[in-house]
Amino acid sequence: MTRQLDEQIVARFPVGQRLRVLDVGMGQGTQALRLARAGHQVTGLEQDATMVAVARESLAGEPEGIRERMRIIEGDGRDTGVHFLPGSFDVVLCHGVLMYVEEPDPLLAGLARMLAHGGLLSLLVRNGDALAFRPGLSGDWSGAMAAFDTTAYRNRLGLDVRADRLKDLTSTLAGIGAPLHAWYGVRVFTDTAADGAEVPADVETLLAVEERAGRTDPYRGVAALLHLCGVRG
């Protein structure tokens, strides 16, 4: 996904431009820190106090220049309008968040409002059109059958969450003024890998295969996750 995001940023903004980036639901700050190290001005918004503490600890270990380019705010992603003015950011990230939000449309509308004209909205969501793959490939036939007709699922943390369908999100993005510009699949072949599995020796080849599949039909359509990029018109 990082390669996909960088591809979109490079294609949309002049090389060397210091972008204003908002990472909503930044978790431990991995993506936010990476972009701050690349020279961008990054704001991370996260409501989980434990994740905020981890991110702040990581940031504290960075050089002063990077620390000055990144700020961390503890807060709910649905309250972006409380913290920021409309049009304040060139790039807004919301990765791995929508599955935990029962009604995502107000959140998405708020994220779109944060974007300046021509800004990039990057979403990472669970693919609602491929929920049967994980149980099916593991031989859970009853689970696979049930997954065809729902967008609800239980994740690896044991939490009951929700997925999104490409068609629905395409419509939503058009409605909030940030129509879909590009989309990719993420974890096409590696979704069934066990948590904590050892990194293979040929990891670069693995990543190249996943990247190719993530931009190629029909493979991207059955990926575990979808990476959608909308552009503020």
Structure confidence by residue, pLDDT tens digits, 153-198: 999 889 999 999 999 999 999 999 999 999 999 999 999 887 778 8
Burial (CB < 10 A; 0-12, 13-18, 19+), residue 220, is buried
Rounded Cα distance between 20 and 2, Å, is 17
Residues 6+ apart with CB under 8 A from 52: 46, 72, 74
* Mean residue pLDDT across the chain: 96
pLDDT digits (tens, 9 = 90+) for 57-106: 999 999 999 999 999 999 999 999 999 999 999 999 999 999 999 999 99
In this prediction, residue 46 has a pLDDT band, given cuts at 50, 70 and 90, of very high
The CB density around residue 144, as the number of other CB atoms within 10 Å, is 17
Percent over 90 (pLDDT), the chain: 94
pLDDT for position 14? 94
pLDDT tops 90 at residue 140? yes
Element (H, E) at 132: none
Rounded Cα distance between 93 and 171, Å, is 19
pLDDT for position 196? 78
Rounded Cα distance between 95 and 125, Å, is 7
> What is the pTM for the complete model shown?
0.95
Burial (CB < 10 A; 0-12, 13-18, 19+), residue 79, is middle
| For residues 29-44, average pLDDT | 97
| For residues 202-229, average pLDDT | 96
Rounded Cα distance between 6 and 96, Å, is 18
